[in-house]
Amino acid sequence: ILGAVGNALTITKPIKELLVGVRNIAAGNFKQRIEMPLGVELKELVSSFNDMAERLERYEEQNIEELTAEKAKLETLVSTIADGAVLIDTNFQVMLVNPTARRIFGWEEEDIIGKNVLYHLPDVVTMELTRPLYQMATAEKQTETERESREGEEFRITLTKPVSRTVRILLSKVLNQSRENIKGIAITVQDITREVELNQAKSNFISNVSHELRTPLFNIKSFIETLHDYGEELSEAERKEFLDTANRETDRLTRLVNDVLDLSRLESCRIYQLEPFDIVRPIEQTLRTYQLNARDQTIELAQEIEPDLPPVMGHYDLLLQVLANLVGNSLKFTEPGGRVVIRAYQLEPELNPQEGKGRVRIEISDTGIGIAPEDQKAIFDRFFRVENRVHTLEGTGLGLSIVRNIIERHHSRVNLVSEVGVGTTFWFDLEVCEEQKITVKEHLQVDTSQTIPTDSATTSNLSIS
């Protein structure tokens, strides 16, 4: 009997330990081991169990390393994408956030991980997202149609803090491997401020062009119809006046179309060759072009050129158009007896903002009516015309916009100083030739804060390859 009891204990004790070990393994404790029994009956079973536990432990360690590496890769990827990314769980606690999202929402100095995202988003964003987030987080309780309606939903929101910007926010569910249960929600944030500004600028441009085209077309149609219907009842002088008016409106329409085409070319991605040339040549050509016009208005048109100027880098035809627009504007707003001067001189080293690069300054000065301070702020806005203030109809309001874009192509900018009743001076700087030709390829964006106004009565054609 005692022997039978001893044999029973020898067998049952390892079995109980084996049962406890299996339970621990099932609970995830892969470090569980069972001591070898004295008998040989269960030794093979216990040995197999220990081998299994050891393999599971090694597998767990390897799996953890792989998961850690994958997590690091994911965090690196998320941190480098241009869009903002926020990952939250179904309780809206932040699990992951990248630097872009921190910058957009003003979280740079805040530890947001583990906190409820709805308590830290800007108020306007919280108002927009609270309901959709709750609906997505409780998707299991919704119908298939309701679940699909929220997936990939887009929100366009204007923020005022920390800075003013417009963002597009996308919500996406994060599902488990079987794609049956929702594990979290990914919030993607895109800064579309520039896109909104460009769309608004495009809309304003189209609206303004349509208005400017409609006016001369309406005038032409009205006078032609009058001549057609009542020509025999009009005097010779009246018919001539109507035809002259229609002809002027046709010229105005042509200038507008040419200016729009010129501006679109300048704002496109085109290659321009900047070559060395003598700046005196386009200045003298401009003077010859406008000399007769200035004489008819009894305005002195002069030049003040510093001797022995070095060649400058530029596009001859484009700079000729700049001078034509600026001189044309000066003549338009200068009273008889006034003076318009083109100056060119090399900047002194201490006046040259570009260290190591010589520059030649070009100035166009007049003794005209001047530009009021409130107009100077808008002088480079498209379709803004100083003549609106003086009740004339000349110009398309695009001339100075063309000037600005051309000068930007030359890595410079147009400046002005003006005083009402005294006159106006526009100036810009050109780089001195450094022997080699320079190829410039730039894509100029539409800037709604700096576009341009008055234009000249004569517009040179662009020479674009």
pLDDT tens for residues 303-324? 999 999 999 999 888 898 899 8
Residues 325 and 412 in one domain: yes
Say what the pLDDT of residue 21 is. Answer: 67
Q: Which long-range contacts (CB under 8 A, 24 or more apart) does 168-172 make?
A: 168/192, 169/125, 169/128, 169/129, 171/129, 171/132, 171/133, 171/136
Q: Which of 258, 313, 294 is nearest to 460 (CA)?
A: 258
In a domain, 321, yes or no: yes
In a domain, 237, yes or no: no
In a domain, 283, yes or no: yes
Which pTM does this prediction carry? Answer: 0.50
Residues 89 and 11 in one domain: no
Residue 347: give the domain boundaries: 268-442
Residues 58 and 120 in one domain: no
Q: Which of 285, 112, 268, 294 is nearest to 187 (CA)?
A: 112
Residue 124: count other Cβ atoms within 10 Å of its Cβ: 13
Say what the pLDDT of residue 414 is. Answer: 92
* Selected residue with higher pLDDT from 77 and 321: 321
- Whether pLDDT at 447 is above 50: no
Say what the pLDDT of residue 449 is. Answer: 35
Which of 53, 76, 99 marks a domain boundary? 76
In a domain, 209, yes or no: no
**CATH code for position 104:** 3.30.450.20
In a domain, 302, yes or no: yes
Residues 64 and 105 in one domain: no
In a domain, 450, yes or no: no
Q: What is the mean pLDDT of residues 443-459?
A: 36
Say what the pLDDT of residue 268 is. Answer: 66
pLDDT tens for 261-306 read 777 776 666 677 889 999 999 999 999 989 988 998 999 999 999 9
Residues 30 and 46 in one domain: yes
* Selected residue with higher pLDDT from 100 and 47: 100
Residues 14 and 116 in one domain: no
Q: What are phi and psi of 177, to 5 degrees?
A: -60, -35
* E strand or H helix at 328: helix 316-332
Residues 310 and 407 in one domain: yes
Strand partners, 67: none
- Whether pLDDT at 151 is above 70: no
Residues 52 and 108 in one domain: no
Q: Which residue has the tokens 């030794």?
A: 43
Q: What is the mean pLDDT of residues 395-405?
A: 77
Q: Which residue has the tokens 């769980």?
A: 89
Residues 411 and 350 in one domain: yes
pLDDT tens for 103-144 read 899 898 889 889 999 999 999 999 999 999 988 888 655 555
Which of 191, 212, 245 marks a domain boundary? 191
Residues 296 and 432 in one domain: yes
- Whether pLDDT at 445 is above 90: no
pLDDT tens for 203-242 read 777 776 776 678 778 888 888 888 888 888 888 888 888 8
Which of 126, 161, 191 marks a domain boundary? 191
Q: What are phi and psi of 84, to 5 degrees?
A: -75, 145
Number of domains in the chain: 3
Q: What is the mean pLDDT of residues 392-407?
A: 73
Residues 119 and 63 in one domain: no
Residues 67 and 137 in one domain: no
In a domain, 90, yes or no: yes
- Whether pLDDT at 258 is above 60: yes
In a domain, 26, yes or no: yes
